[in-house]
Amino acid sequence: MSIGSANPPLSVSVAEPLAAAAAERYGIAIVGNDKIIDWLLPFLESYVATNAHLPLYLIPYDENVALTRRAAEIYGAHFVEETPTEIDRLALELYPGFFNSHRRRLRKLHALALPLDEVAYVDVDVVLFRDLAPLFGRLEAGKREFIVASASLEYVYNEKKANYDFLRDAFLFNDGFWITSRKYLTLSHFIETIAQDAEIFHAVRKRGQLFAQPLVNFVTHRRRLAISALPDCIEKASAESFYKAKGITFEDGKPLDPYGAEIYFAHWAGATLLPSTRAFDAAWKDYSRRAWERFRK
């Protein structure tokens, strides 16, 4: 799909039968709404610049999506119409004392229900710099079942994880980017794991406005998925993506880490303000400017 394509953008229900196809179906999933339109539009512009050949699915965060729907139409994204009832029910069960605005962070799990053989979930406070296609087709049972970009040592579990053998040496990751297949991870796996081990999850999960990240880590660790980082999949790939990273250089408009490895995207995880003067910020602002020009036409 690309801007100006002869094929119209689609609204889809993931309940539709999967079309038979010889080739593997790969795609990207994001979650968005009008509240974060300032982040959504630069992401979409970067997607068109680098990955328009991959289908993009936009999962609504809530019903505040008038601008978001228009953005999906402009950029040729599939707007997912189906309400993620099971996910919302799981979120309410796990976090009953929180607002829906917090619990809906679990809607990223809807990526696992899309009509794709492999899906790359990406947080929307991201801009893409490189083609993600080389990252697909690398999953393998028992060896590489869940691909992440980078570790996150502080924002997953508390010190009680040391009480559980399956968590002591687990690879803790940022859940703002991952690739997997329903062969290895499904929404049912989340529901079943929590039904069996909710007490352990609540004992070990890190508090402090963290909702999806401890859960995604816990379920993948409890089910003992084989987790790999980008450099384990692509020789020249970097594990770096944090917007505060130091020593970043650019070659032909694409970033490299201090060791010369290729950075696939920048992630403004935890940012409270829009980008300004850091290493990736100029690129974000350029994507933002172009996106708003396109959006206002």
**Looking at residue 223, what DSSP letter applies?**
T
3-state secondary structure at position 150: coil
Q: Count how many domains the chain has.
A: 1
The average pLDDT across 54-64 equals: 97
User: Burial level of 171, CB count in 10 A (0-12/13-18/19+)?
Assistant: middle
Taking the C-alpha atoms of residue 171 and residue 217, their distance in angstroms, rounded to an integer, is: 9
3-state secondary structure at position 21: coil
Q: What is the pLDDT of residue 10?
A: 44
Taking the C-alpha atoms of residue 228 and residue 207, their distance in angstroms, rounded to an integer, is: 25
Task: With beta carbons less than 8 A apart as the criterion, state whether 211 and 105 touch.
Answer: yes
**Structural domain of residue 280, as residue ranges?**
22-284
For 28, list phi and psi in degrees, rounded to 5.
-115, 145
Which residue in this structure is represented by tokens 């049912």? 188
**CB within 8 Å of 105: residues ≥ 6 apart:** 91, 211, 212
Q: Would you say residue 1 lies in a domain? A: no
Task: With beta carbons less than 8 A apart as the criterion, state whether 5 and 248 touch.
Answer: no
Q: What is the pLDDT of residue 183?
A: 97
Q: Would you say residue 229 lies in a domain? A: yes
Per-residue confidence band for 8, with pLDDT thresholds at 50, 70 and 90:
very low
**CB within 8 Å of 98: residues ≥ 6 apart:** 211
Q: What is the pLDDT of residue 92?
A: 96
* Global confidence as pTM: 0.91
Q: Would you say residue 213 lies in a domain? A: yes
CATH code, domain with 215: 3.90.550.10
C-alpha gyration radius of the chain:
18
Amino acid code (one letter) for 99? F
Taking the C-alpha atoms of residue 239 and residue 81, their distance in angstroms, rounded to an integer, is: 33
Task: With beta carbons less than 8 A apart as the criterion, state whether 271 and 176 touch.
Answer: no
Q: Would you say residue 16 lies in a domain? A: no
Q: Would you say residue 102 lies in a domain? A: yes
Amino acid code (one letter) for 290? R
pLDDT at 24 over 70: yes
Taking the C-alpha atoms of residue 254 and residue 240, their distance in angstroms, rounded to an integer, is: 13
State pLDDT tens for residues 280-291.
999 999 999 999
pLDDT at 187 over 80: yes
Percent of the chain with pLDDT over 90: 87
Q: What is the pLDDT of residue 7?
A: 36
Q: Would you say residue 296 lies in a domain? A: no
Q: Would you say residue 171 lies in a domain? A: yes
State pLDDT tens for residues 64-89.
999 999 999 999 999 999 999 999 99
Taking the C-alpha atoms of residue 8 and residue 5, their distance in angstroms, rounded to an integer, is: 7
For 32, list phi and psi in degrees, rounded to 5.
-155, 165
Per-residue confidence band for 29, with pLDDT thresholds at 50, 70 and 90:
very high
Q: Would you say residue 17 lies in a domain? A: no
